[in-house]
Amino acid sequence: MVLKLGVHVSISGGISNSVDNALKIGCSAFQIFTRSPRQWKTKELTPNETEMFKEKLDNSSIGPESVVVHMPYLPNLSAPTSEMYEKSILVLTDEITRCNLLGIPYLVIHLGSHLGQGPKNGINQLVNACTKSLQSYSDRGLPKNRVKILLENSAGQKNSIGSQIEEIQSIFNILGKNDYGLCIDTCHLFAAGYDLSSETGVTTLIEQIDSHLGIENIKIIHLNDSKGDLGSNLDRHYHLGLGKIGESGLRHLVNYKKLNKIPFIMETPIDAVRNDIDNIEFVRNVLCK
């Protein structure tokens, strides 16, 4: 089986460098930020940059459907109405625009934190932010939106939205699958209390996800092991097979038939234990059957 597999790669020196970076380490899928993830401000993409990116991608073995953008970290789309909330909507609109310009079909968003106002309020704010951003995009008079916003499940940190499958389902039902899809993060699932460490755990979970959300709506899987324990609500990614999820659950997951068309993206640390190439090789050589 040929898995679409890759990691989050750097855009340092220009966004088109991400394609080279991905190819160099053997990715068949990859994720990028289109800007620095820890700053509000960014420069507009120049036509030259977007053309170069598209040309490199076209000439590579990586299909555009295996490329995904992750939203920067600062926006909080479920925050109570405030200056920061309004800024978050602007960033989302910009990221939708940038994905369209780059020809990237998927934009992963975090569902944010209700900051103590309760999940109901948070979900309302989130739905409003997404709807407004898509509206503002179309008000910009650019070509019709081709980007799906992917809702990513959270690890269940205090006040966070979207750690439970039923909650994501309720949000997804409101937003609809036309402009939206899902990104499932294995570390976040585990931290939120879903046990993926065993084969039966994985099977049960995938069936649960399928019945509530529909497997066909999952466009990206964030394939990360977890440093934190089951149900710890800790968002700590770890090298594949070396964390608390471990080899057997992850092996079952990457070989799961119903998932074999979905790109798997790792967001694992680079440290003395392993780098990105090591994790890619581990998945290909040790986990894949």
Chain positions contacting Zn ion, by CB under 5 A: 152, 235
Nearer to Zn ion among residue 49 and residue 113 (C-beta): 113
Nearer to Zn ion among residue 152 and residue 276 (C-beta): 152
Nearer to Zn ion among residue 94 and residue 235 (C-beta): 235
Distance of closest approach, residue 139 Cβ to Zn ion, in angstroms: 27
For residue 87, give every residue at least 6 positions away whose Cβ sits within 8 Å of its Cβ, in sequence order, or none.
40, 75
Q: Residue of minimal CB distance from Zn ion?
A: 235
Question: How far is it, in rounded angstroms, from Cα 231 to Cα 164?
Answer: 11
Nearer to Zn ion among residue 94 and residue 152 (C-beta): 152
For residue 42, give every residue at least 6 positions away whose Cβ sits within 8 Å of its Cβ, in sequence order, or none.
34, 35, 36, 94
For residue 25, give every residue at least 6 positions away whose Cβ sits within 8 Å of its Cβ, in sequence order, or none.
7, 9, 276, 277, 280
Distance of closest approach, residue 185 Cβ to Zn ion, in angstroms: 6
Which token pair is 139? 């008000």
SS3 120: helix
Distance of closest approach, residue 94 Cβ to Zn ion, in angstroms: 18
Q: Are strands 237-238 and 225-226 parallel, antiparallel or unpaired?
A: antiparallel
Distance of closest approach, residue 183 Cβ to Zn ion, in angstroms: 7
What one-character-per-residue DSSP string does 92-111 give? HHHHHHHHHHHT--EEEEE-
Distance of closest approach, residue 144 Cβ to Zn ion, in angstroms: 26
Nearer to Zn ion among residue 49 and residue 235 (C-beta): 235
Which token pair is 71? 């939203």
C-alpha dist (Å) from residue 43 to 40, 248, 275? 10, 44, 30
Nearer to Zn ion among residue 23 and residue 240 (C-beta): 240
Nearer to Zn ion among residue 23 and residue 30 (C-beta): 30
Distance of closest approach, residue 243 Cβ to Zn ion, in angstroms: 12
What is the per-residue burial (b if ≥16 Cβ within 10 Å, else e) of 228-255?
A: bebebbbbbbbbbbbbbbbbbbbbbbbe
